[in-house]
Chains A and B, each alone.
Chain A
Amino acid sequence: MSIPLQGELAGEAPVLEFKNVFFSWPGGKGLSDVSFAVPAGQFVLISGPSGAGKSTLLRLAVRLEEASQGNIFLSGKSLKSYYPPELRAKIGFVQQTPTVLPGSVRDNLLLPFTLNVRKGEAAPSDKVLLQWLGRLGLADVELDSDAYGLSVGQRQRLCLIRSVLPKPLAICLDEPTSALDLESRERVEEIAEELAAEGITVFMVNHTGYYPGCPHMHLTVYEGKVEVL
């Protein structure tokens, strides 16, 4: 199926663009001839059954996997033309399993600013960190508390904040609400929409397909094929 490339229609380079991308895992599953383009500031919902290739799509976007055919572009430049750490500093990725490191909540939130790729960038102040914790319903979490003491749902939100703090061009969220109650889930979804409104393109995987809000774009993944709804 030929899908109109929205970035081309708008006359400016899309933030993320897949052009005839193929990928296969050793077991045979994968993605086949995937093409789509997403302009800046969009909130993109990605849905489909388990194992359909939703996470693979995100992993390809941050180059944790390499496409066997086709090209992927970030801001009009092939992913291959970026130095990998610089690419990943521009497009955030929150994994399905929230991973925190030993240390305090503050240490974990400021982790991206300790890396060479962000040398010279000022780390956010405690005030900013606390504002973000409050925005995601974690006002009762102290910055000095042990990150290992957080629940899975709290860790999911910590990982989301950690990826958003460096202000990337786009952010890929792989089922960021899977361990959250309804209230927290709605809050994360609101934040995702707010981020898109602030100009950060958001890709959010949701395997249930149910989404109460109104995404700008909806990609469905089924048996390795991607369709834009």
Chain B
Amino acid sequence: MNEDFISISWVQLLIALSLVSVSGILSIYYKLKLEKDLAIGVVRSFAQLLTMGYLLKILFGLNSAVFVMALYLVMTLFSVNIIHGRVKEKNVSYLLPTGLAVMFSYSLVTILVTRVVIGAQPWWEPQYFISIGGMVAGNSMNSLALSLERFFSELKSRRDEVEMLLCHGADYKEATAEIFRDALRAGMIPAINSLMGVGLVFLPGMMTGQILAGADPEEAVRYQIVVMFMLVASTALSSIIVLQLVRKRCFSGAMILLTGKKK
């Protein structure tokens, strides 16, 4: 690490905390009722990041594939849990398909990047695997939640259209083709917007972090390009898999739409 790197003390962390209190004050003043969520969010981010920091320190020392995979599994399961909390759908069970899609797509993209693109030896080297896996999980989680939320809300608001198509003999795939496309688009737009704006509108966190830590900016940029492309792949792959699995569950065996009943 570069000698110019300035480390952050506990006191400086507490000063940063005052930045969140601005949001808290605004929430109270405008009666947004977000104070509780903000407080929980602050405590959670402190606790989660500190725990992860210590875990990574231990993992780097252990040099064990089993522990790396266990931590990766916990991270992905938490991402499934967060998606489940954000998507409001009671009639269709989507937890298992989400879990399967997340496991498959996150793992495929993460292993491809660490093993093939970066060429880490071994491929599960925690420094790379957990960092890359974390970025894949974090970004794809948002896309998945967006895709699922859009899919379920469109199914409800366009129920008459879906049933009209079913009544003409459409199967469940034909009846939801347009809604499927809309939901997929909704999930992929943030990743595509990032491709458009990166380097012009914003400097991504990973690249900035590397530069702040003293890495060569050119090296940081190369890593960032890999990360951007892998995020596009993982969001597309995970959204397609989850929507394919979930849309089948929105219908019974008799191809009756199960969600958004009027009566």
Q: Using CB atoms and an 8 Å cutoff, list the residues of chain A in contact with chain B.
A: 25-27, 29, 62-66, 80, 84-86, 88-89, 92-93, 95, 97, 99, 101, 111-112, 115-118, 159, 162-163, 166
Contacts and interface: CB of A to CB of B under 8 A. Distances in A.
Contact of A85 (B161, B171, B257): B171
A162 B170 CA distance: 14
A10 B167 CA distance: 29
Given A65-B256, A117-B169, 10 more contacts: A27-B263, A64-B166, A80-B254, A88-B166, A93-B167, A99-B164, A112-B169, A115-B168, A115-B174, A116-B171
B170 to A, nearest CB: 5
Contact of B160 (A26, A97, A112, A163): A97
B163 interface: yes
Nearest to B158: A99
A112 B168 CA distance: 6
22 contacts: A25-B263, A63-B254, A64-B166, A64-B167, A84-B171, A84-B255, A85-B255, A88-B169, A93-B167, A95-B163, A97-B160, A99-B161, A101-B161, A111-B165, A112-B168, A115-B170, A115-B174, A116-B171, A117-B170, A117-B171, A159-B164, A162-B168
A159 B163 CA distance: 13
Nearest to A114: B174
Contacts of A84: 166, 171, 254-255
Contacts of B170: 85, 115, 117
B250 to A, nearest CB: 14
Nearest to A97: B160
A138 to B, nearest CB: 19
Nearest to B160: A99
A64 B263 contact: no
Given A64-B256, A80-B254, A115 B169 contact: yes
Most B Cβ at <10 Å: residue of A26, A85, A92: A85
B253 to A, nearest CB: 8
Contacts of A117: 169-171
Interface in B104-156: none
Contacts of A86: 169
B178 to A, nearest CB: 8
Nearest to B168: A112
B172 to A, nearest CB: 9
Most chain B CB atoms below 10 A, which of A27, A63, A86: A63
A166 B167 CA distance: 12
B252 interface: yes
In the A-B complex, list the 8 residue pairs whose CB atoms are closest, starting with the nearest. A89-B169, A117-B169, A84-B255, A93-B167, A99-B164, A112-B168, A85-B169, A25-B263
B133 to A, nearest CB: 40
A221 to B, nearest CB: 15
A99 B163 CA distance: 10
A63 B256 contact: yes
A26 B261 CA distance: 10
A65 B252 CA distance: 10
A29 B261 CA distance: 14
Contacts of A29: 263
B258 to A, nearest CB: 11
B62 to A, nearest CB: 53
A95 B174 contact: no
Contacts of B257: 64
B263 A88 contact: no
A92 B165 CA distance: 11
Nearest to B161: A99
Most buried by A among B160, B171, B254, B257: B254
A111 B256 CA distance: 20
Interface in B242-263: 252, 254-257, 261, 263
A88 B256 contact: no
A64 B261 CA distance: 11
A92 B163 CA distance: 12
A93 B254 CA distance: 16
A95 B167 contact: yes
A99 B167 CA distance: 12
Nearest to B167: A93
Most buried by B among A62, A86, A88, A116: A88
A93 B263 CA distance: 19
A97 B158 CA distance: 12
A84 B254 CA distance: 6
